[in-house]
Structure 1
Amino acid sequence: MRFSLLLSAALLPLAAAAQAEETAPAPEESEIDTIIVTAARTALPITALPLTAEVIDRAALERQLLISGSVVDSVAALIPSFSPARQKLTGQGETLRGRSPLFAIDGIPQTAPLRDGSRDGFTIDPFFIDRVELILGSNALQGIGGTGGVINQVTVSAPATDGWSARAILQGTAENGFRADGFGGKIGALVANRSGNFDAVVGAAYERRGVFRDGRERRIAPDGTQGDLMDSDSLSFFAKAGIDLGETVRIEAMGQRFHLVGDGDLVAVNGNRLTGLPSTGAKGVVPGDAPENLAESLSLTLTADELAGGALRVRGFWNRTADIYGGGTFADFQDPAIAPVGTLFDQTQNISRKWGINASWEREFGPLNLVLGTDLLNDHTVQVLAQTGRAWVPPTDYRSIAPFAQGNLALWDGKVRLAGGVRWENVEISIPDYQTLWFYGPRQVGGGSPSFDRVLPNGGIVIEPSPGIRAYASYAQGYTVPDVGRITRAIRTNGVDLDNDLDIAPVVADNREVGVEVKRGPIDASATYFWSDSDRGQLLVLVGDVFEVQRQRIEIEGIELNLTTQTPVPGLKLGVGYAHLNGQVDTNNDGLVDSDLDGANIGPDRLNLSADYTAGPVNLRLQSRTHFAKVFDGLKRVPDNDFAGYTLLDGSVTLATDLGSFTLAAQNLLDRQYIDYNSDTQRPADNLRYFAGRGRTITIGWLGQF
């Protein structure tokens, strides 16, 4: 009932806006932006698809990056149903609509399906990103992992006309106290050329991140286990080249490398949750290797726009990630055969290599747009203990083949569209015989090759009675596999045979949504209500000091409201975004949900407000992010995990000149002191992982185009 009232209230302003526009002349087709989202696997515009999609274009992305520095923070600032960014190297607990999103680069999946290291939001320097495409809600368009949606980072391309061009960035960042260890900076350059049928773009970027401080100018504690962005350096390279073989055939290659390494000279100091004192950082020697992130991607894409009357697109890709995490003398790592119990230091490294092929062919048959394709994916993942060479998660292979078909039928000159399709996912996971670590027994485990196949349907309707006004309803299934690595590494019983005992049944999320949009004149507004459920969802549950995967029923529902409008004041644009999320889980396996999802699995309600003012070469932007307080009710409620809520204000001013654009930006402009959402809602007895959010951070940047 509550959601019905919220949705009705949301639709009223949209209906009023539409009615007001009826008296105005219908806009010309050229006045309505035709936006293609490549992550949707079709050349049809967003308006023809029964789903919620957002595009963060280059201008908006560049502005957010100067404020916050990362794509993850940019998405968190602009998309209210994305949970608050952790401001750490890890994305564990960051969700979209209460479920994990799939990060991709030009459609190349960055998430390791077998052992999610939660570093997939930091695998490319954002200087090489042209735009970010988001598809919200469960779907199987990109294959495994999209239960919360898809965040596809589309890389830059060469200019459309012959000649040379270049882009360069230079920026410096300081925390509020302007202390030497808090300074950071970035330098990067891209050079591109198009000459006849050949084009290429190459670039490099280096970034130094200083120490982060909170609103009281205290060093924020580093995440010694998962890794941290602060006090780190990254070096990145990017290249893309293409050749047109005639007017309709093109071959394009892309390669990129991203390497981030922490300094390893900052250690965490306990805070005090009872008094609200966050953990802090102090100079010290971190044992072992400093946490680091290494990601490399290669792809080769063939497009043929006139093959058998349709357009063929085939992309082959290879991707490798090698992530080192912080270490310790954790109980899991002990082995008296190596060192006395309680003294053995070790740290983990997650290594994943994947290759795959995405192939699709799209053709129009009169009013019917048809897409046929097949996706292949092979992933090899192992999690090792880097100091002693032991395997914590055994070498595991994931192989899948997934043919799919998708149709979109336009009726009454496109005023009504019926869309639907199926994807047949066939998966096999292969694990050799292995022995668990001493802490778990050790146990001898028989390997195996368990498999499953699943048909994943989707369908929907789009009604567009007039250009710029549309309503839609849809149903879609998305899926992922459970975190097999967390399961296999922690087997504590004898006689386990993975062919019979490993449950790799997919996590299938059924997503339903209805929405309405108005994009006419000065108004860009939308309202969406969605609900999704998983009979056997994947839940992160803290057991001791380690998060384990539990398979439980999960139900999520929510509403998203967005409005952007030009005001009567020339050059002034205002924006409002709101998301309400409610997620529940079945904790006692009786088939009925009984407890709220906690902060490790769903974000709080959000309200985003923004004001943009442009006058000649000057642009001003103010944006606020309100994260509402949240009480987690249920059978296993922990009151200390309730969320207090906070509001942050960011701002930027940009001056465009013949020498490039100069920007002064500030994150947390009012220097608000707060505890980040993930820390505030987890580990109520842990005073070491009680992280504050960043205080006021100031960035001065120059972006040149030549």
Structure 2
Amino acid sequence: MRLLSTSLSLLSLCISASLYASETKAPQEQSLERIIVTGSRVAESMDEVPASITIITQQALQEQLKINPELQSILGALVPGMAADTGSSSNSSQTLRGRNPLVMIDGVPQSTPLRNGALDIRTIDPSAIARIEVIKGATSIYGNGAAGGIINFITKKSQSGAPVNGEVNVSSRFSAVKLEESAGARFSGAVDGTLDKFNYLFVASYEENGVQRDAEGDILGLQYGLSDSVTENYFTKLGYDIDADKSLSVSYNFYRSQQKTDLGDVVNDINTGTKTYAIHVPKALQKQGKPQGPDGNENVSIKYIDNAIFGDTQLTVDLYSQKIENVFFYSPRLANPDLGLDGGQSIIRSEKSGLRSTFNTQLTFSNTEATFIYGVDLLNDTTSQPLVDGRVWVPEMDMQSAAGFLQTKWVFNNDFIVKAGVRNERIDLEVDDYSTLKLCTSATQCSTAVDVKGDTLEYRATTYNLGIKYNWSEAFSPFVSMSQGADISDLGLLLRAATVSDIADIQTEAAIIDNYEMGFRSQFESTRFEFAAFRSLSELGTSNKLNPQTGVYEPLRAPQRIWGYEAVISHDFSRALQMTASYSFVEGKQTSTDTYLGSRQINAPKGTVNVKWRATDRLIVNVDGIYVGDRKRFDPDASGKYGADQGPVDSYFVVNLNSNYQFTPKLSGYVGIQNLLNLDYYPSRSQSYAYGSYNVKGLGTTVNLGVQFKL
């Protein structure tokens, strides 16, 4: 509350001061395809960014939404270097370049880096998103948690200019292999408008899934499953243009997605090549505990912009708060026979409040344009992981963060760009005295509870970035860059696995990740090509390993080296036919032992192809192919079994299709088909995760039929 009060006061001062600023004309907007906001926190042309960027436009988002409404699936299909669809509600293993990304909504962090539960991608419905910006490689521009980069969901805003405008979407998704119980229903609607200086937007979506079936017609296993899940999202954004330069907006988002089912798993072992699937079972054998999934996550943000706070300087102030409650599945690994408990269910709770102030000063010299981006970030993040039965697995961690930053950009002769920046982060994290849990995988295999003395941990980090880009010609535009990120590696995991009596003795140092990258972009008449190669180094590492005695993950703070490359090519055969293809490869090792990293970090190679055909003025057809390659870096043990995330991945190729037909200017119908050829396969994560109940097959042929009506 202290931080929130201070933030409100600062916001009020910024607004009051700016009301007396001189009026100048707001800068002209550029097309979305040429804009990137996330990388340096202000709008700039993509041609001036020396880094790998993927922008998922609203059109591409809507095309994928016709196939599958899950953001994990959409990102897996469209972002090079990110693992393909996991087929579940969890984005575990969907790393960026072998490290966890920071997921945000309009710059508000959704990830819980203090206790990463890998549920941060499913925090908003795609119907509320205007575009998605993905910056790859470690960065500290938004603070802790961006070891692999940034995924920023940019929400919609009112753009109609009319007093009332809107649209309604209704669809049903079902298995084409076995229809029984698989049909679901989805509704989304939006209304927006402009009234003089006031603009508004309301978006609502509601979806009920039926059971999800594989290529043989069996129900997919329930480990982070989506069968019988109910998802609802409500988003609103209100804006007011104070004058030509100054504007104020307020947004709110509510998201809930929980699985409520009478099914139970038939658990098998991936090491024997048999799948886990679900069937109807008596109540005593059904999933115990609360429904799993996000239970009412909320975001509130206030944004104030003054395009002329003084001189040639723009001010942006973001004040935000966020509340997350992610409920996990009931697990026998959380048992304690001494307390009469045969298992348990955990919840990650996180509350954040923060203030970001960003100044953007632009100066022009002889043949040189200079941009200075600077400001202060304040953040309070309180995160814990209790169990539903009242036990505390991860104690409350109260983090206070303050950071100052400076980012500069120099454009010489309109074609040579140099970017350099620095950020200084000061973090104080308070943890009270606590006791680790005694957890038992059997009556004789238990961890030992440890009383741990709490303390206030201090982190101080200064990180740098430097990038150079030369727009030599449209045919060849090369760049090189170095960027650093400071990452507090899943501190909650360290605390719950503590084996010492004083928190000061736990290896909690922040990991500094160094990301090096080089690449180029080429644009010809009808062909565009992009290539980037990268190398990521860290002395402490950011991974963990499974303790087979307790079944609990423990930190692995060993140095790591990750490397790889990405390539994207697009070609317009004609106005009616376009194709885009990509290929990405990533690999990594623990450098001290020269051993490969497991699949929780390193994805199998991935290739994608998209063909867009405008058959008529009314009919558009898109065909997507997703290829996942082999990755076989580990040997089985003497019994023929593989380690926790070290299973071999065999290649597979999935084809999806979507089409849209425009009946009238206001009415259209669409169909999406996931796994068009009904491939019988295990997703890469199911193949490589050799523990638990992750050995679930991919979706069989699934059809989505819908209509859209614009008001």
Normalising to structure 2: TM-score of the pair?
0.89
Cα displacement (A) at 1:114: 1.1
1:434 and 1:235 map into 2 onto residues whose CA distance is 36
Report matched runs for 1:204-243 at 5 Å: 204-223=204-223, 227-243=224-240
1:369 and 1:416 map into 2 onto residues whose CA distance is 14
Counterpart of 2:164 in 1: which secondary structure?
Answer: strand
Distance verdict in 2 for CA 1:37–1:519, change over 3 Å: farther
Cα displacement (A) at 1:36: 3.1
Cα displacement (A) at 1:282: 1.1
Whether the aligned pair in 2 keeps the contact of 1:259 and 1:292 (CA below 8 Å) is yes
Match of 2:464 in 1: 457
Distance verdict in 2 for CA 1:593–1:249, change over 3 Å: farther
1:428 and 1:240 map into 2 onto residues whose CA distance is 33
**1:311 lines up with 2:314 in the alignment:** yes
Percent identical residues: 24
Distance verdict in 2 for CA 1:401–1:198, change over 3 Å: same
Aligned counterpart for 2:329 among listed residues 326, 329, 338: 326
Match of 2:582 in 1: 577
Which letter does structure 1 place at the counterpart of 2:328? Y
Whether the aligned pair in 2 keeps the contact of 1:606 and 1:626 (CA below 8 Å) is yes
Match of 1:119 in 2: 119
Report matched runs for 1:140-539 at 5 Å: 140-223=140-223, 227-273=224-270, 276-284=273-281, 285-294=286-295, 295-309=297-311, 310-330=313-333, 332-334=334-336, 336=338, 338-339=339-340, 343-366=341-364, 367-386=369-388, 388-411=389-412, 413-439=413-439, 440-467=447-474, 469-493=476-500, 496-498=501-503, 500-539=504-543
Distance verdict in 2 for CA 1:374–1:462, change over 3 Å: same
Cα displacement (A) at 1:274: 5.2
Whether the aligned pair in 2 keeps the contact of 1:594 and 1:635 (CA below 8 Å) is no
Please, what is the CA RMSD of the aligned residues? 2.0
Cα displacement (A) at 1:376: 1.2
Whether the aligned pair in 1 keeps the contact of 2:410 and 2:417 (CA below 8 Å) is yes
1:434 and 1:409 map into 2 onto residues whose CA distance is 51
Cα displacement (A) at 1:215: 1.1
Distance verdict in 2 for CA 1:33–1:510, change over 3 Å: same
Cα displacement (A) at 1:677: 1.2
Cα displacement (A) at 1:679: 1.9
Distance verdict in 2 for CA 1:634–1:409, change over 3 Å: farther
Which letter does structure 2 place at the counterpart of 1:334? N
Whether the aligned pair in 1 keeps the contact of 2:77 and 2:626 (CA below 8 Å) is yes
Cα displacement (A) at 1:102: 1.1
Moved more, 161-170 or 349-358: 161-170
Match of 1:41 in 2: 41
Distance verdict in 2 for CA 1:145–1:328, change over 3 Å: closer
Cα displacement (A) at 1:178: 4.2
2:407 and 2:587 map into 1 onto residues whose CA distance is 31
Cα displacement (A) at 1:359: 1.1
Match of 2:568 in 1: 562
Which letter does structure 2 place at the counterpart of 1:313? T
Distance verdict in 2 for CA 1:30–1:419, change over 3 Å: closer
Match of 1:51 in 2: 51
Count of aligned residue pairs for this structure pair: 657
1:272 and 1:575 map into 2 onto residues whose CA distance is 38
Residues 378-431 of structure 1: CA distance to partner in whole angstroms, max 9, x if unpaired? Answer: 111111110x212111111112111000000111x2211111010111111110
Whether the aligned pair in 2 keeps the contact of 1:553 and 1:593 (CA below 8 Å) is no
Counterpart of 2:89 in 1: which secondary structure?
Answer: coil
Cα displacement (A) at 1:87: 1.6
Counterpart of 1:211 in 2: which secondary structure?
Answer: coil
Match of 2:558 in 1: 552
**1:690 lines up with 2:695 in the alignment:** yes
2:710 and 2:170 map into 1 onto residues whose CA distance is 12
Distance verdict in 2 for CA 1:105–1:218, change over 3 Å: same
Cα displacement (A) at 1:536: 0.8
Whether the aligned pair in 1 keeps the contact of 2:581 and 2:608 (CA below 8 Å) is yes
Match of 2:656 in 1: 650
1:240 and 1:581 map into 2 onto residues whose CA distance is 39
Cα displacement (A) at 1:136: 1.2
Report matched runs for 1:613-624 at 5 Å: 613-614=613-614, 615-624=616-625
Residues 506-562 of structure 1: CA distance to partner in whole angstroms, max 9, x if unpaired? Answer: 122111111111234322210111111111111131222333221111111111110
Whether the aligned pair in 1 keeps the contact of 2:220 and 2:227 (CA below 8 Å) is no
Aligned counterpart for 2:678 among listed residues 671, 674, 678: 671
Distance verdict in 2 for CA 1:301–1:30, change over 3 Å: closer
Cα displacement (A) at 1:703: 2.4
**1:81 lines up with 2:81 in the alignment:** yes
1:694 and 1:593 map into 2 onto residues whose CA distance is 38
Which letter does structure 1 place at the counterpart of 2:293? E
Cα displacement (A) at 1:633: 4.5
Cα displacement (A) at 1:101: 1.1
Whether the aligned pair in 2 keeps the contact of 1:376 and 1:401 (CA below 8 Å) is yes
Which letter does structure 2 place at the counterpart of 1:352? S
Counterpart of 1:180 in 2: which secondary structure?
Answer: coil
Match of 2:24 in 1: none
Residues 61-110 of structure 1: CA distance to partner in whole angstroms, max 9, x if unpaired? Answer: 01111112212211100123101221211112211111111111001000
Distance verdict in 2 for CA 1:251–1:110, change over 3 Å: same
Counterpart of 1:537 in 2: which secondary structure?
Answer: coil
Moved more, 64-73 or 625-634: 625-634
Match of 2:9 in 1: none
1:250 and 1:231 map into 2 onto residues whose CA distance is 43
Cα displacement (A) at 1:689: 3.0
Whether the aligned pair in 2 keeps the contact of 1:481 and 1:505 (CA below 8 Å) is yes
Cα displacement (A) at 1:599: 1.3
Structure 2: gaps spanning 5 or more residues: 1-28, 440-446
Which letter does structure 2 place at the counterpart of 1:481? I
Match of 2:668 in 1: 661
Whether the aligned pair in 1 keeps the contact of 2:84 and 2:606 (CA below 8 Å) is no
Moved more, 640-649 or 302-311: 640-649
Whether the aligned pair in 2 keeps the contact of 1:596 and 1:634 (CA below 8 Å) is no
Cα displacement (A) at 1:502: 2.8
Counterpart of 2:456 in 1: which secondary structure?
Answer: coil
Whether the aligned pair in 2 keeps the contact of 1:333 and 1:437 (CA below 8 Å) is no
